[in-house]
C-alpha cells in the first residue's frame, strides 16, 4: 500500500512539472483577410487604381469606335435613297466589318483586363504571403491562414491590421 501511495505521488509530481511545459507551447494562430489587405493597403489601392485606369482607357476606345459605327449607320440611312445598290451594299459591308471589329476589340480588352488584374493581384498576393511568413516566423506563429479557409475564428487572432501596417511600411521603403 505504501508503494502505491509513493507511485501516485511520483506520477503527480511528474505531471505537475511536465504538463505546464506542454501548456506553455500553445499554438499561436493568425488569420489574414487577403481581400481587406487588397482594398486597404497602399500598394493594393495603387494596383486597383492602375487597373481601373487601364479599364477606363479601354472603355473610352470602345465608346469612340461605337460612335463611329453609329455615325456610319446614320449616314447610310440618310443617304440610302440616293445611293446606288452597289454603294449601299458596300456601306453595309463596311458597317458590318466595323461591328465585328468592335466585338473583337471588346473581347480582346476583356481578356487583357482580366489578365492584367490576375497578374497584378498575384504579385500582391505573393508579397503579402511572403510578409505574412516573415511576421509568422518573427512573432512565433505556428500557423497563419487566409480568412476564406476558416469557418470560425475569434477576432483576437485576426492579424490583418498588423499585416496592412507592415505592408504599407515595406511598400513605402521600396518606392
What are 121-138's pLDDT values in tens digits?
Answer: 999 999 999 999 999 999
Q: What is the pLDDT of residue 104?
A: 95
Give me the percent of the chain exceeding a pLDDT of 70: 83
Helix axes 160-174, 42-79, angle to 10 degrees: 80
Choosing among 3.90.1150.10, 3.40.190.10, 3.30.910.20, 3.30.70.20, the CATH entry for 2-174 is: 3.30.910.20
Whether the CB-CB separation of 4 and 134 falls below 8 Å is answered with: no
Q: For residue 82, what pLDDT is reported?
A: 83
- Tell me what the pLDDT averaged over the chain comes to: 86
CA distances 37 to 30, 49, 60, 72, 88, Å, are: 14, 15, 30, 47, 57
Long-range contacts, stretch 172-175, CB < 8 angstroms, 24+ apart? 172/42
pLDDT in tens, 65-97: 999 999 988 988 888 788 888 988 898 999 999
Give me the pLDDT at residue 173, please.
67
Amino acid at each position: 500500500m505504501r508503494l502505491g501511495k509513493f507511485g501516485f505521488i511520483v506520477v503527480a509530481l511528474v505531471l505537475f512539472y511536465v504538463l505546464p511545459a506542454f501548456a506553455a507551447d500553445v499554438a499561436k494562430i493568425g488569420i489574414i483577410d487577403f481581400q481587406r489587405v487588397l482594398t486597404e493597403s497602399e500598394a493594393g489601392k495603387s494596383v486597383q487604381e492602375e487597373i481601373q485606369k487601364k479599364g477606363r482607357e479601354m472603355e473610352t476606345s470602345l465608346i469612340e469606335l461605337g460612335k463611329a459605327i453609329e455615325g456610319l449607320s446614320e449616314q447610310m440611312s440618310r443617304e440610302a435613297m440616293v445611293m446606288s445598290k452597289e454603294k449601299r451594299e458596300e456601306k453595309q459591308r463596311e458597317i458590318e466589318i466595323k461591328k465585328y471589329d468592335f466585338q473583337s476589340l471588346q473581347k480582346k480588352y476583356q481578356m487583357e483586363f482580366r489578365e492584367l488584374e490576375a497578374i497584378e493581384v498575384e504579385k500582391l498576393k505573393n508579397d503579402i504571403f511572403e510578409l505574412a511568413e516573415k511576421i509568422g516566423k518573427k512573432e512565433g506563429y505556428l500557423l497563419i491562414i487566409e480568412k476564406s479557409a476558416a469557418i470560425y475564428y475569434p477576432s483576437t487572432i485576426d492579424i490583418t491590421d498588423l499585416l496592412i501596417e507592415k505592408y504599407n511600411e515595406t511598400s513605402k521603403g521600396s518606392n
